Structure 1
Amino acid sequence: MELKKEIGEALLFWYDHNARILPWRADKNPYRIWVSEIMLQQTRVEAVKPYFDRFMEELPEVKDLAEVDEEKLMKLWEGLGYYNRARNLKAAAQTIVKEYDGKLPDDYDQLLSLKGIGMYTAGAIASIAYDIRVPAVDGNVLRVMARLLGDDSDILKEKTKKEMAARVMEIMPDQRAGDFNQALIELGAIVCVPNGEPKCSECPWDTVCTAYREDLTGRLPVKKPKKKRKIEKRTVFVIETDSMVALHKREEKGLLAGLWEFPNILGKCSQDLVEETLDGWGMSDCVYEFTHEGKHIFSHIEWQMTGVLVSLKEPVELEELTWVSKKDLEEEYAIPSAFEMFRESLQSAY
């Protein structure tokens, strides 16, 4: 399908009248754009807003991010998931301070060389902050372009992504590259939506869209089904005294690497196994009860979890446990969202 440059101008006109007001769009600050793009990966815009505001208040400059304490960074990121993204942000900030005088480079390839910045993020920063004419192809853009073109290629394949990026360049205006990329993303986010019926009557491209004309919106885009997630049952122990709670720090490699968690073991424990586990930890003199049951889905694995609230009079010292005050748990220690439901089991914090 041949694409005419005029449809890029039509999209910009639509964007000028329909763009959402978002905190990272207030100016073209490269640092704010970068942080927002990393936060927005796998997370909805409305959910990101409070995280972004808090992050910017605490770490307003690249230098602040480069120097932030690891625990504070994890706490600022708590709830966003994919914690390695925060670690990569810090590592890239350190490189920016060291090699680029604390300013994000205004060069696509140099941006791409920074840790945690892939083709999409480099394109977003380069175009939005510096108006460099490069594509920024995310899931929204892939969906819009697949429907526009009537393309049934698997959008999860790198070959398809590169081909779509080339097609985007065919319609990108010579000016306002950043606005155009944001417009294309915005179109996918609020009109050509990922779930449910697209709002074709509100689309500036309804007259040229192949999927709309041929009634293919329900079939496009095409994604090859992912492998089934592995199911893993776990028992989570929320161990508390009146003012303290026991945490465990995960290994530095693997899932949720280096993060704090409530102690947990593989398998769904019966009452006998719970008591055996607690005896092994020297906690036989305790009161316990089963609490929440829930699940948490990672990209490749699903945890099905059962909670056990354990109440002690005094902390029991174990090498693998760290006792912290409930106040510090709320204010300083980052707990992955997988365990958030179990935090609710705690008695009054402090």
Structure 2
Amino acid sequence: MNKPIVKPDKMGSYKEEDVIFLLRDISNFKIERKSEEREKLIQSGTHYSEMLPVEYQPTEEYLSLFHNTLEQYSKRVAIAVGVVAEQIKERNGLENLVLVSLARAGTPIGILIKRYLSFKYQVEVPHYSISIIRGRGIDEVAIDYIFDQHPQAKIQFVDGWTGKGAITYELDEACKAYNATHEAKLDSSLSVLADPGHCVSIYGTRDDFLIPSACLNSTVSGLVSRTVLNYDFMEESDFHGAKYYKELTDVDVSNLYVDTLTSEFALVQNEVAEKLEELRKEDATPSWKGMRSVEGIQDKFGINNTHFIKPGVGETTRVLLRRVPWKILVNPKYSNDLTHILMLAKERNVPIEEFTDMSYSCCGIIKEL
């Protein structure tokens, strides 16, 4: 007998034609923990997905930095979106294509890829955002829902960027597990805007540059929290959960972000074509080069666990917004791209150390408590 298909809650501040979140709204549960308390719990064995960090509220200065960054990088991001979207089209075709972004960093990127395909090819590709959790896999209830809605779906997974490649690995393992027990099959290939970890083959660039949506939390991701999996108050047969922070509506820039970048698509067509030509000459095979940098950092600083090392501009930002940082390593060659990292580190009194021996522009190291 087929399992009944559960329906997701209406979530987030994006338009429904941009994305459907396949999540359960757990806004009524108080599971936020302050950084220090959360860090201690994580380091003593509580899974990070069982609780949420307190949402960082940016200062006026930091918000204006986000807007400046968006202005400065919008063209570069739009080119990367076009390059990824064209590769997805070449790889899968457009018939039966379903974009599935990994909540939450992948969500705005999935919307942009969907909008690019609409702009360029006049097709409306379905786009869902689902949860994947390191060590716990992908939300299979969400995958079942997609196949129920689109029996012939060719699912293409989307995320924002790579760090060490933990999610690339998690996705691969999760797809193998799903394929072993289901008729419908998943292709675990992940597409990202930036792949500084060299761990995927569909990417817009391998430069470790700032994707402006990495600067903020829910206010640039449809007011949706990180995803949560806590069976103390959640059902195993249900979607993974998340909070919808409606109270932050006044400071929400999620739609401004995707609208600003969408307006660039018509202006960057030549650059997208040039970049695609360049990429065709490159070897896109993942070399996991970033992981070698991480091992070097682990060795140099005597760090027990690679989970404490978060390389790349996106991951370093997350360390500063959500964890308890020990120090931030910065490659001075890229310091022009790291204004927001330096600002956050100063705000939180986190030491900065120059370090050039890595394939990333910066790296956040979590404090061992």
TM range, smaller chain: under 0.3
Provide TM-score, normalisation by structure 1: 0.24
Normalization by structure 2: what TM-score?
0.23
- Structure 1 or 2, whichever has the larger Rg, is 1
> Which gives a bigger RCO, structure 1 or 2 (Cα 8 Å, sep 6+)?
2
